Structure 1
Amino acid sequence: MVQHLLSISKSTRAFLSLLLMEIDLHPGQDQLLARVEPGVPVSVSALADQLSVRPSTVSKMLDRLMEKNLVERTAHSHDARRTMVMLTPAGETVRGRVNALWEKLEGDLASAVAPGRRDDLLTALREADELLTAKLRRLR
């Protein structure tokens, strides 16, 4: 099973990387943009937790996204030590394009599975994701 998950993960990410190049994004930037809701500030530490990466990794990603004017950083309204992130209008547009790419890719992948088996597959994938995410959190 691990061999298949690794192969699917690698192929999916490689294909998605090609699609992301079309909208001038790098792998991982799509996931960050997808987790920032339009008009809702989110902390760098919350993003790091959601992405299962270190805050320093999120900061580097934010630097690159700021260069493209897709996100902005602000101080927390009650705690100036906390950095908050918001999408810019351009970021909201690109976030929509990311969602469209993901939906297209998901449709392509779903077409490879018989309709009656999709729910079971999705449930199994979610359970595996939750298990691995929980194990990673304990190790970090």
Structure 2
Amino acid sequence: MGTIAQSNDLRPVSKKIQTVTSASPVPSKSAITATEHKTELVSALLSISKSTRALTQLKLQELGFHNGQDELLLALDERVSTSVSKVADALCVRPSTVSKMMDRLVERGMVQRVKGVSDQRQTMVRITPAGLDARSRLLAMREKLEKELVAAFAGDAEAIIQTLDTVAQILRARLMRLR
């Protein structure tokens, strides 16, 4: 059985595979084939997503949280109870996923499940004082990470953020149509 070598090579997987499977060097940007170019944006976004989630997971673990729990706590309105389905829509996940994430937060006393006022069959979610405290710690962690990342940009960070926000809106809209 072979061993897996670790690499610090940050090129997209398609470029790494090309390097391994061919004797020729990795092509320059101008020499990228039409097929490779078609997936360049997707590859970059996937890489950003994976790296961001891995980095935040490490920071969340330091605070005693799992991936997704931060998003759930940040999505809740402290003034009113919110339906599980509205939280799911805000997070672009299924209501069953929200319910599973909530189980751990309910156990920790950070959120409460309550019955709907107009429809007792509807499950609503409310953030507790402990959840508000946790949310403030999560926001502080995110603000620190944001400052670190923005400081690393050589160019206009605001323009990059606006472009990424546009991409996120496009992806969210397409995802909503598919669900």
Classify the TM-score, shorter chain: over 0.9
CA–CA separation in structure 1 for the residues paired with 2:65 and 2:158: 31
Is residue 13 of structure 1 aligned with residue 53 of structure 2? yes
- Of structures 1 and 2, the larger Rg is shown by 2
Is residue 117 of structure 1 aligned with residue 156 of structure 2? yes
Is residue 108 of structure 1 aligned with residue 165 of structure 2? no
Q: Deviations over 1:61-111 (max 9, x none)?
A: 111111111100101111112111111111110011111111111111111
Q: Secondary structure at the match of 1:79?
A: coil
Q: Which amino acid aligns with 2:178?
A: L
CA displacement at 1:40 relative to structure 2? 2.1
Identity %: 50
CA–CA separation in structure 2 for the residues paired with 1:54 and 1:75: 19
> Structure 2 residue aligned with 1:35, among 72, 75, 78?
75
Q: Which amino acid aligns with 2:51?
A: S
CA–CA separation in structure 2 for the residues paired with 1:38 and 1:14: 28
> Structure 2 residue aligned with 1:72, among 86, 93, 112?
112
> Structure 2 residue aligned with 1:83, among 107, 123, 126?
123
Q: Secondary structure at the match of 2:146?
A: helix
Match of 1:92 in 2: 132
Normalising by structure 2, we get a TM-score of 0.75
Root-mean-square deviation over aligned CA pairs: 1.1
CA–CA separation in structure 2 for the residues paired with 1:118 and 1:4: 17
Q: Secondary structure at the match of 2:159?
A: helix
Q: Deviation above 6 Å: which 4+ runs of structure 1? A: none
CA–CA separation in structure 2 for the residues paired with 1:43 and 1:123: 30
Q: Which amino acid aligns with 1:138?
A: R
Is residue 137 of structure 1 aligned with residue 176 of structure 2? yes
CA displacement at 1:122 relative to structure 2? 1.1
Match of 1:62 in 2: 102
CA–CA separation in structure 1 for the residues paired with 2:174 and 2:79: 32
Q: Which amino acid aligns with 1:24?
A: G
CA–CA separation in structure 2 for the residues paired with 1:45 and 1:21: 27
Q: Which amino acid aligns with 1:78?
A: S
CA displacement at 1:11 relative to structure 2? 1.1
CA displacement at 1:128 relative to structure 2? 0.2
Count of aligned positions? 139
CA displacement at 1:120 relative to structure 2? 1.2
